[in-house]
Amino acid sequence: MSQRLHLVFGGELVDPQGTKFRDTNNIHMVGIFPDYDSAFAAWKTEAQRTVDSAQTRYFIAHLHRLRDEEREVSTTEELGG
């Protein structure tokens, strides 16, 4: 069985409706997690910690999907699409 690694990261965005970071040097890397449930728990902790900062957002990246080059991505997985 393969691992399904997830990266949790976040920071201040230029526009809270978008995904462009204000300063990529200050992106907070929360960590890499072995499954979605633990990544979600970390994401939720950081999102709640920064709830008063409207410009700050955290994301979960599905790293295991990046390793599978044979798999076709859905339109929701394409950046900027």
Helices (H), 29-73: 36-49, 63-67
Domain 6-77: top CATH class? alpha beta
> pLDDT digit string (tens) for 60-69?
999 877 765 5
In the predicted model, is pLDDT for residue 5 greater than 70? Answer: yes
Q: In this predicted structure, what is the pLDDT of residue 69?
A: 57
Question: Which secondary-structure segment (H or E) carries 33?
Answer: strand 28-33
In angstroms, rounded to a whole number, what is the distance separating the alpha carbons of residues 76 and 52? 28
> pLDDT digit string (tens) for 12-58?
999 989 999 999 999 999 999 999 999 999 999 999 999 999 999 99
Q: In this predicted structure, what is the pLDDT of residue 65?
A: 78
